[in-house]
């Protein structure tokens, strides 16, 4: 009986000592999503240079007082945009790079859309002029036109996604993380 109780106690206490000794790894991906893990091998290779190690707290944090909101408590504990960082420690350079990346995607998608659309319209004109040519040529032109139309639609979707990120998602995310809105201004080339 004593052995059983002792075994149960050891089984219950031992894992908690292991958990207290573990480190927690934290990183932010290119979309700005915050990730946590206790296994460094689960961190993607490209983010390992930015991983922050942290020991879990030994005691649970005290509950917030009723007079202080969670947002006010976060502002007190976290660096603010006025100090050059957002709530999770990302600075102006991170936000500018993210904005620049999406701006480049937008410009690239617009350029590719315009090129593909022009090629599609040229094929359409070529098809109109091939009324007296063999049906096999007309089928080939229609097939090429359809492929160009699909590519143009894909580039259009990518353009819309990049616009949405720059005009809606990034500003909202910057606001949520208390980042300076000037960090995400789009600079025209």
What is the rounded average pLDDT of the residues 113-124?
93
- The 10 Å CB-count burial string (b at 16+, else e) for 35-44 is eeeeeeeebe
Look at residue 52 in the predicted model and tell me its pLDDT.
76
Question: What is the percent of the chain where pLDDT is above 90?
Answer: 30
Look at residue 147 in the predicted model and tell me its pLDDT.
94
User: How do residues 33-59 score in pLDDT, each as one tens digit?
Assistant: 888 788 877 888 787 777 777 766 555
User: How do residues 135-187 score in pLDDT, each as one tens digit?
Assistant: 999 899 899 999 999 999 999 999 999 999 999 998 998 888 888 888 888 66
Placement of tokens 């910057």 in the chain: 174
What is the rounded average pLDDT of the residues 110-114?
96
Q: Which band of pLDDT confidence, cut at 50, 70 and 90, is reported for residue 18?
A: low
The DSSP element (H or E) to which 76 belongs, if any, is helix 70-77
User: How do residues 58-111 score in pLDDT, each as one tens digit?
Assistant: 555 555 444 444 544 444 444 444 468 888 888 989 999 999 999 999 999 999
Residues 6+ apart with CB under 8 A from 149: 120
The DSSP element (H or E) to which 156 belongs, if any, is helix 135-164
Number of helices (H), then strands (E), in the chain: 5, 3
User: In 38-144, which ranges are E strands?
Assistant: 52-54
Of 163 and 19, the one with more pLDDT: 163
């Amino acid at each position: 009986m004593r052995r059983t109780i002792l075994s149960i106690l050891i089984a219950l206490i031992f894992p908690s000592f292991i958990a207290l000794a573990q480190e927690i790894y934290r990183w932010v991906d290119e979309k700005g999503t915050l990730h946590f893990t206790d296994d460094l091998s689960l961190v993607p290779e490209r983010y390992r240079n930015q991983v922050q190690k942290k020991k879990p707290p030994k005691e649970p944090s005290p509950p917030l007082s009723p007079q202080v909101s969670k947002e006010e408590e976060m502002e007190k504990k976290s660096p603010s945009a006025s100090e050059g960082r957002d709530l999770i420690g990302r600075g102006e350079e991170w936000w500018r790079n993210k904005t620049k990346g999406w701006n480049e995607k937008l410009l690239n998608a617009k350029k590719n859309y315009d090129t593909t659309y022009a090629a599609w319209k040229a094929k359409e004109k070529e098809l109109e002029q091939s009324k007296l040519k063999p049906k096999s040529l007309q089928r080939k032109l229609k097939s090429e036109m359809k492929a160009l139309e699909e590519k143009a639609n894909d580039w259009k979707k990518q353009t819309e996604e990049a616009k949405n990120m720059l005009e809606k998602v990034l500003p909202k995310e910057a606001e949520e993380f208390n980042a300076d809105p000037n960090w995400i201004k789009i600079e025209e080339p």
